[in-house]
Structure 1
Amino acid sequence: MAVLNFTFSCSSKPQHLSKHQLPISPQGPNQLKFKDEHSFSFGESVSKACLTALVSASVFFAVDPALAFKGGGPYGSEVTRGQDLTGKDFSGKTLIKQDFKTSILRQTNFKGAKLLGASFFDADLTGADLSDADLRGADFSLANVTKVNLTNANLEGALVTGNTSFKGSIITGADFTDVPLREDQKEYLCKIADGVNPTTGNNTRETLFCK
């Protein structure tokens, strides 16, 4: 994390300026009042301004906003939000509640990964391998899930609102229990659905309520 350093020079002693040195208008909402005929004190104002500036300067700033999401969830130690992770291997990893929002995950390997509650909001998962993955409660809202391998994946309670598309994906043995699919997506998936999930024992077609 990069830190921005600031240096201020403030004087605690009251300053006095001659009204001849600081011309001001005798009218208006910002009119300054002189202590006497020749001078006014603004030491107190300067001190307050310096204190405010110093407090503000004590704040640390991250140059890359993505660093604020390091770790994503309670598991994992890598920055995964808003990143290009094309082809990266996450197979078998425990990535519960990991944050993959808006990331590029094309051909990324999540085979057998534990991704409960993970967020793939607006992510591009084209061609990714999510076979045997635990995706219960994962968020696929607005995600591109085309040509994804979801063989034997458990998607119970996953979110797929918005323009989420599973076009061209493999869903043999996938469990879609309590997944709120759009009607057009449900019809599409029912055309290719088959198999039974080895973990839950649920028939894929039945979890989709296929006719």
Structure 2
Amino acid sequence: MALLNVSFSSKLTPKPPLSLPKPHLSHPHFSPLSLQTPPQNLLFSLRESVAKAGFLALLSSSLFFVDPALAFKGGGPYGSEVTRGQDLSGKDFSGKSLIKQDFKTSILRQANFKGAKLLGASFFDSDLTGADLSDADLRGADFSLANVTKANLSNANLEGALATGNTSFKGSTITGADFTDVPLRDDQREYLCKIADGVNPTTGNATRETLLCE
């Protein structure tokens, strides 16, 4: 029986290592560093996003603990105190700068605003019965739904003020007051024209003319 003469090599022929396709160095976004570590600008963006998210979460949660009174503060030097929805009867605000001050729904009976700067102030639905508003700068003030009965508006400048709804000036003194561009109900305009007289010392406009009295 013939023996097969098979010879085995003492050394195995090594297989060539697998070769990965080489990146194209000409690619515009290729960088040798990208094969090693993430780009630094990406890490920075991630850290910044996390920091912002944490800050916004803290800010939103803190809003639940804000003193509700802070939402009712107005402008001007008296803004450090709450003037909205308060009983401020007889308070002395004379000569003060109360620009855009918020007096909404407040009780201001016999309050003294003589000579005060109340541009854009809000007296929405407030009670100004018997208040002294003489010589006050009330341009653009909001008297919507306000009770301004028996108030002193002598020489006050109400140019562009709002007086919509059930605003009432019954029994008020309006000598020299300027009602230019104040939207009044027909019954209020008719009533005020019966008592209107004088000229506003600041604007030089006659009260009757500003009320469009016939």
TM-score by length of 2: 0.70
Would the aligned equivalents of 1:75 and 1:98 in 2 still touch at CA under 8 Å?
no
Q: 3-state DSSP class of the match of 1:186?
A: helix
Residue 61 (structure 1) aligned to one of 56, 61, 65: 65
Residue 122 (structure 2) aligned to one of 113, 119, 123: 119
Separation in structure 1 between the aligned mates of residue 130 and residue 76 of structure 2, nearest angstrom: 27
| Structure 1 residue 206 corresponds to structure 2 residue 209 | yes
Q: Give the match for residue 158 of structure 2.
A: 155
User: In terms of Rg, which structure is larger?
Assistant: 2
Q: Give the match for residue 148 of structure 2.
A: 145
Q: Give the match for residue 195 of structure 1.
A: 198
Seen in structure 2, the aligned counterparts of structure 1 residues 57 and 206 have a Cα distance that, compared at 3 Å, is closer
Separation in structure 2 between the aligned mates of residue 190 and residue 172 of structure 1, nearest angstrom: 11
User: How many residues are treated as equivalent by the alignment?
Assistant: 157
Would the aligned equivalents of 1:85 and 1:108 in 2 still touch at CA under 8 Å?
yes
Gaps of 5+ in 1: 1-50
Q: Give the match for residue 181 of structure 1.
A: 184
Percent sequence identity over aligned pairs: 85
Separation in structure 2 between the aligned mates of residue 66 and residue 130 of structure 1, nearest angstrom: 26
Residue 100 (structure 1) aligned to one of 86, 103, 125: 103
Residue 171 (structure 2) aligned to one of 162, 168, 173: 168
Separation in structure 2 between the aligned mates of residue 160 and residue 171 of structure 1, nearest angstrom: 15
Deviations 1:121-177 (A, max 9, x none): 000000000000000000000000100000000000000000000000000000000
- Measure how far apart 1:79 and its partner are: 1.1
User: Which structure has more helix as a fraction of its residues?
Assistant: 2
Q: Give the match for residue 45 of structure 1.
A: none
Seen in structure 2, the aligned counterparts of structure 1 residues 106 and 57 have a Cα distance that, compared at 3 Å, is same
Would the aligned equivalents of 2:76 and 2:97 in 1 still touch at CA under 8 Å?
no
Deviations 1:43-70 (A, max 9, x none): xxxxxxxx9xx9675444245x333222
Q: Amino acid of the residue matched to residue 129 of structure 1?
A: D
Give the ranges of 4+ consecutive aligned residues of structure 1 lying more than 3 Å apart after TM superposition: 54-60
- Measure how far apart 1:73 and its partner are: 1.9
Separation in structure 2 between the aligned mates of residue 111 and residue 74 of structure 1, nearest angstrom: 16
Separation in structure 1 between the aligned mates of residue 138 and residue 146 of structure 2, nearest angstrom: 14
| Structure 1 residue 87 corresponds to structure 2 residue 90 | yes
CA-atom RMSD, angstroms? 1.7
Q: Give the match for residue 73 of structure 1.
A: 75
Q: Give the match for residue 39 of structure 1.
A: none
Would the aligned equivalents of 2:108 and 2:126 in 1 still touch at CA under 8 Å?
yes
Separation in structure 1 between the aligned mates of residue 202 and residue 210 of structure 2, nearest angstrom: 14
Seen in structure 2, the aligned counterparts of structure 1 residues 99 and 59 have a Cα distance that, compared at 3 Å, is closer
Would the aligned equivalents of 2:151 and 2:171 in 1 still touch at CA under 8 Å?
yes
- Measure how far apart 1:182 and its partner are: 0.5
Seen in structure 2, the aligned counterparts of structure 1 residues 203 and 78 have a Cα distance that, compared at 3 Å, is same
Gaps of 5+ in 2: 1-53
